[in-house]
Structure 1
Amino acid sequence: MYRTLFSLVLSRLDPEFAHHLAFVVIRVLPALGLGGVLRRFTRPRVDLRVRALGLDFETPFGVAAGFDKDGEAVLGLGMLGFGHVEVGTVTARPQPGNEKPRLFRLIRDRAIINRMGFNNHGAAAAADRLRRVVPVPSRPVLGINIGKSRVVRVEDAVDDYRASARAVAPVADYLVVNVSSPNTPGLRGLQEIDMLEPLLAAVHESAGGTPMLVKIAPDLSDDEIGRIADLVVRLGLDGIIATNTTISREGLTTDAAAVTAAGAGGLSGAPLAARSIAVLRLLRSVVPSDLCIISVGGVESAHDVQERLDAGATLVQAYTAFLYRGPLWARQINRGLERIRAERIRAERVKR
C-alpha cells in the first residue's frame, strides 16, 4: 500500500515538503491516544534487547540523526518501533540551513542527496522541548547529535560545541559530536587529529557523565579512521558512529544529468552500504570489544541490520530507507530480526 502511495503521490511532491507532511503525522501520534495499541503492534515480540552505553535498548534498530532535527517527534518515532531516536543535528545558534531546494531523491538508487545545512532552532530550544519528553517511561532511548554553527569560525568551534553540549547533555541519554557532515563549510576538517583531539576532549568534559560518541565520514581513508579510533579509545569516549553521508557519486544508476542537477550535498541510502560496512569492520578490528559502534549507511532490511550486528555493530541506525519503505518500516525490521533469531535457534538445535 505504501509503495503505491509513494509511487503515485509522494514521489511527485517536493522531497522536503513530503518529509514535512510525514513528520507532522508522526509528531501528533502521541496526542491521538493510540500509543498503547500502536506499541503492541510495532514493538518486538521476542527479546531483541541490547545493553550499551549503560542503557537498555528495546531493539538494536534506531532512527539516525536528520529525521527529527529539533526533537519534536521522539515519542511518535518510538511508537513506530524504533529502539532509539537520535535527534539533530542541533547547533548552539539557531539557523535556517541552506537555501531550498536542498533535498533530492535518487529513486532508482534508493538514495537521497541532501545539503540541508543543520537547519534547527538551536540546542537550547531542543533541550527545553526534550525536558518534557525525558520523564515519559515509554519513550525510546534518546541521543542528541551536535554540530558547529555555520556562522562560527572553525578556529572557534570548540566553544561552540561546548555550548551545545552543556545545553543538551542533561536531557540526552547519549551525545554525538558530528564532525562529518559535508554541508557546513570547514566541518569535515575537524576530523583531522590535531583539531579533533582538543575538540573531543573539551566536549567530553562539558558532557559530564553523559555517554559521548563521535560520528565520522565514509570518505576518510582507512588510516585516518584508524587514527580516529585510537583517539576515541585514548580519550575514553564511549563510541563511534559510522558513517555519515558521502560526497562520492560512484556507482549510481540514476541518470548522470539528474545527479549533476541535484548538485552538492551528502549522498545517503543504498549506495553507501558497502563502504559503511567496510568501515564498521575496520573499526571493530582495532577498538576494544566493549566500545560501542553504531553502524549507519545503506541499511534497508532486517537482513542488513543483522549483517551489521554480525560484523560487530553494537547498534544500527538508518534514515533514508524510511522515505522509501514507509511508517511500518521499523516494525518490519523488528519482525525480520525476530525471524532471523528464530531460524538461528532452530539451526543450532538441529546441530546438537
Structure 2
Amino acid sequence: MIPRLASALMPLMRALDAETAHGLALRALAAGLAGREAGPDDPALATTAFGLSFRNPIGLAAGFDKDAVAVLPLMRLGFGFVEAGTVTPRPQAGNPRPRLFRLEEDRAVINRMGFNNAGLEAYRARLAALPRPLPAVLGANIGVNKEGAEPERDYPALYAALAPFADYVTVNVSSPNTPGFRDLQGEARLAAILDALAAARAGLAKAPPLLVKIAPDLAEDALGPIVETCAARGVAGLIVSNTTVARPETLRSRHRGEAGGLSGAPLFARSTEVLRRCFRLARGRLALVGVGGVATGADAYAKIRAGAALVQIYTAFAYAGPALVPRIKAELAALLRRDGFARVADAVGADAQGG
C-alpha cells in the first residue's frame, strides 16, 4: 500500500473510535502496510541540529508511537526524525477510556491518555532490535509513572537505559494529563532533574543530546528561567511545545469541553509565539524544535522562521495520513527557494530577530 492510498483510507478510519483507529493504524504500520516514500529528499531540506544530521527537518512528535512498535515503518514514510514514547520506568494503563477525542471541525484533538505505555523494558528491547543504520534520526521521549515516581532517580535511569540506542533523548516535563506533572517545569525542580541527568550522563560511553519538552501555557515570566536553567546544564534543545489546557473560544466541536491536552490547528499561533520568545531568550544556546498545529509546508516554514531548527507534526498526520509527509516537504522546499534560502538553516529565526 503506497502512502497516497493509505491516506485515502483515512476517512474510513475516522468512522471508528479515535483510540481504536489509532491502534489499528499502528498495527498496519508495524506490518509494513503503509509502504514507503520513493526518491531522495530535496537537498535544500538537509540540516543539522544538536550535533546530528537530518535528511529533512520534518519529524513525528512523541505520543504517536508510544511503545516504539512502528519506528522503522514510520521513518520509511519520509520523516527526517521520529520520536517514540513517552516511556515510563514501569508499564501503566493510563487514564480510563474514552481519553482521545477528534475535534474534526477544528482540525484538532484532545487527549488525556495519561502516559499509557508498556514500560521501559519492552520499549528498550524494541529500540535495541532496530536494524542499523536507520533511515532517519531516532528520538526517545521519557517520563515518569503516575504512582511512585522519583523524577531525580527515574529520568537518569531512563536516559542511561536508552542512551545506547537513541540519537537524542527528550525529557517530558509538560504533559497535562498526570496530576502535578507540569510542576516539574518549575525552575528549582527542573534544575534538580537536569543536575541528576548531568551526573548520569558523565559516566556513559555514549551520551546522546538531551532535550526538554515544555508546555505552551507557561506564564510570561516563567519562560526565561526555564531557558536559562536548560542552557546552564548542558541541554541541547527545547521542544516547543506540548499540548495546551487552554480552550480557544473559536472551538466548534462538541468535544471542545473534554479535559486533556488540545493539539492541532488551534495550538499553532500560541505555540509559535512561545517558540519565537524561546529563540530570542536562547540566543543561539539551544536548538529549538517547533511543534503545534503544523499541517502544511507553510506552517512548517513559519515555525522555522520563528526559530525552529526542526519541526514536528502529529495531529495533521493523524488526520491526513502518510501522504502528508512528502507534501509538507515539497511545499517547504518551494518556499525556501521562493525566498532565496539555499537551505533550512538559513531561514531559522528570520522572523524572530531582535526583541
TM-score after normalising by structure 2: 0.89
Residue in 2 that maps onto 1:84 = 81
2:101–2:255: 8 Å Cα contact kept in structure 1?
no
Residue in 2 that maps onto 1:10 = 13
Q: How far apart are the structure 1 equivalents of 2:237 and 2:115?
A: 22
**Aligned ranges for residues 120-269 of structure 1 at < 5 Å?**
120-133=117-130, 135-153=131-149, 156-207=150-201, 208=204, 209-255=207-253, 257-260=254-257, 263-269=258-264
- The counterpart of 1:116, out of the listed 109, 113, 117, is 113
C-alpha offsets along residues 124-172 of structure 1, whole Å, 9 cap, x if unaligned? 2211111121x4224310000101111124xx22112222112112211
* Worse-matched range after superposition: 197-206 or 84-93: 197-206
CA drift of 1:61 comes to: 0.5
* SS, match of residue 215 in structure 1: strand
CA drift of 1:16 comes to: 0.7
Q: How far apart are the structure 1 equivalents of 2:83 and 2:341?
A: 34
Unaligned stretches of 5+ in structure 1?
A: 348-352
CA drift of 1:346 comes to: 9.7
CA drift of 1:199 comes to: 0.7
* SS, match of residue 47 in structure 1: helix
CA drift of 1:82 comes to: 0.6
Amino acid in the other structure paired with 2:192: P
Residue in 2 that maps onto 1:293 = 288
Q: How far apart are the structure 1 equivalents of 2:137 and 2:106?
A: 31
CA drift of 1:290 comes to: 4.8
C-alpha offsets along residues 236-275 of structure 1, whole Å, 9 cap, x if unaligned? 21111110000111233324x5323xx2111000000011
C-alpha offsets along residues 95-141 of structure 1, whole Å, 9 cap, x if unaligned? 111111110000011000001111111122211111121x4224310
Q: How far apart are the structure 2 equivalents of 1:346 and 1:151?
A: 49
CA drift of 1:307 comes to: 1.1
CA drift of 1:232 comes to: 0.8
C-alpha offsets along residues 155-201 of structure 1, whole Å, 9 cap, x if unaligned? x2211222211211221100110010011111101111111110112
1:300–1:318: 8 Å Cα contact kept in structure 2?
yes
Q: How far apart are the structure 1 equivalents of 2:274 and 2:226?
A: 12
Amino acid in the other structure paired with 2:306: A
CA drift of 1:303 comes to: 0.6
1:251–1:271: 8 Å Cα contact kept in structure 2?
no
Residue in 1 that maps onto 2:345 = none
Residue in 1 that maps onto 2:319 = 324
* SS, match of residue 51 in structure 1: strand
Q: Does the C-alpha gap of structure 1 residues 345 and 15 become closer, same or farther in structure 2, counting only changes over 3 Å?
A: same
Q: How far apart are the structure 1 equivalents of 2:10 and 2:49?
A: 35
1:59–1:82: 8 Å Cα contact kept in structure 2?
yes
Moved over 6 A (4+): 1-4
Q: Does the C-alpha gap of structure 1 residues 231 and 346 become closer, same or farther in structure 2, counting only changes over 3 Å?
A: closer
Residue in 2 that maps onto 1:57 = 54
* SS, match of residue 85 in structure 2: strand
Q: How far apart are the structure 1 equivalents of 2:48 and 2:8?
A: 38
Residue in 1 that maps onto 2:271 = 276
- The counterpart of 1:315, out of the listed 304, 310, 314, is 310
- The counterpart of 2:335, out of the listed 336, 340, 352, is 340
Q: How far apart are the structure 2 equivalents of 1:346 and 1:258?
A: 41
Q: Does the C-alpha gap of structure 1 residues 28 and 193 become closer, same or farther in structure 2, counting only changes over 3 Å?
A: same
Identity of aligned residues (%): 46
Amino acid in the other structure paired with 1:26: L
* SS, match of residue 206 in structure 1: helix
Q: Does the C-alpha gap of structure 1 residues 97 and 277 become closer, same or farther in structure 2, counting only changes over 3 Å?
A: same
Alpha-carbon RMSD across the aligned residues, in angstroms, is 2.0
Q: How many residues align?
A: 334
* Worse-matched range after superposition: 143-152 or 331-340: 331-340
* SS, match of residue 20 in structure 2: helix
Q: How far apart are the structure 2 equivalents of 1:90 and 1:333?
A: 28
Residue in 2 that maps onto 1:20 = 23
Q: Does the C-alpha gap of structure 1 residues 229 and 272 become closer, same or farther in structure 2, counting only changes over 3 Å?
A: same
1:124–1:167: 8 Å Cα contact kept in structure 2?
no
* SS, match of residue 127 in structure 2: helix
* SS, match of residue 329 in structure 2: helix
1:64–1:317: 8 Å Cα contact kept in structure 2?
yes
2:231–2:285: 8 Å Cα contact kept in structure 1?
no
Unaligned stretches of 5+ in structure 2?
A: 343-355
* SS, match of residue 40 in structure 1: coil
Residue in 2 that maps onto 1:350 = none
CA drift of 1:4 comes to: 6.4
CA drift of 1:5 comes to: 4.1
